[in-house]
Homo-oligomer: A and B are copies of this chain.
Amino acid sequence: MERKLILVTNDDGIAAPGIRSLVEVARELADVIVVAPDSPQSGKGHAVTLSTPLRLHKVEVFKDVEAYECTGTPVDCVKIAMDIVLKDRRPDLCISGINHGSNASINILYSGTVSAAMEASVEGTTAIGFSLLDYSFDANFEPSKPYVRSLIEDALNGKFGKGSLLNVNIPNLPAEEIKGIKFCRQSDARWEEEFVEAIDPRGQKYYWMTGKFVNRDKHNGTDIDALEAGYVSVVPSMYDLTDYGMLDKLNNGKD
């Protein structure tokens, strides 16, 4: 059987330790091509680059793995990978990450990691965004590897259906304390912003965005619950944002 092909990207940049871990796991299971941003792109959400051109360079970053760095956002990377790098081939799977930091709950909106995976899903390719709940550059990705491996295997075996999208978050725990995988829903949370005001050397005011994560979800079965209980959270996600409940209500109230 022909070896399958996995496209790997991330939002922390091609030199981040997280993507290195992901490539290590993926290459044991399939052929791997990397197209990732040439600089950190955290918080870029589903941004695309429209008003400036993009650059794409082949780089030797991973031993024996074809890799390209791109000047654009994570979503740009997936688009240019599909159109230029993989012109005549389709990947069997797109994986993004491993992100340094949580993309659980509402973070999915701001996340370049999951947005890159979502873009692949829009293009019909099964996709997974992986994140570890440790923001530090020298985070330990070893305990996450068996779970990353098993989810990639399941995806390659068609468990999730073609074009599906998973948002995977891994608790920052030693291997022996991770309890397994839980399929769950996105928790309803938000960031309570607190902009920090400061004055620059020219006397002008500026603001740093900061904030507190507030989980306002009172029900069970969320990704935040799963992570707090020591599980890897897997949220099947989608790019159809229609609120069908509200749509029914509006059309029935009207007709």
Q: Is A139 an interface residue (CB 8 A)?
A: no
Contact A54 B209 (CB under 8 A): yes
**What 1/0 mask marks residues of chain A from 163 to 193 whose CB sits below 8 Å from any chain B CB?**
0110100000000000000011110101001
CA of A106 to CA of B75, assembled, Å:
14
Verify B108–A241 contact, CB threshold 8 A: yes
One of A24-32, A40-48, A92-100, A141-149 contacting the partner: A40-48
Cβ of A79 under 8 Å from chain B: yes
Q: When A185-B242, A238-B241, A246-B160 are in contact, do A56 and B207 touch as well, CB less than 8 Å?
A: yes
Residue in B49, B183, B195 whose CB lies within 8 Å of A84? B195
Given contacts A45-B47, A239-B109, contact A161 B122 (CB under 8 A): no
Shortest CB-to-CB span from A50 to chain B, Å, is: 4
Chain A, residues 201-212, CB within 8 Å of chain B (1/0): the string is: 000111111000
Interface code A86-118, partner B: CB below 8 Å = 1, 0 otherwise?
A: 000000000000000000001011100001001
The 21 listed contacts between A and B (C-beta, < 8 Å) are: A43-B48, A44-B47, A45-B45, A45-B47, A45-B75, A47-B47, A50-B209, A53-B198, A53-B207, A55-B204, A76-B209, A79-B193, A80-B193, A84-B207, A109-B241, A123-B190, A160-B246, A167-B241, A183-B251, A185-B242, A186-B241
Please provide the chain A residues from 56 to 90 with a CB less than 8 Å away from any CB of chain B in the complex: 56, 73, 75-76, 79-80, 82-84
B236 touches A247 (CB 8 A): yes
- A contact residues vs B (CB 8 Å cutoff): 40, 42-51, 53-56, 73, 75-76, 79-80, 82-84, 106, 108-110, 115, 118, 122-123, 160-161, 164-165, 167, 183-186, 188, 190, 193-195, 198, 204-209, 234-244, 246-247, 250-251, 254
A204 CB → nearest B CB, Å: 7
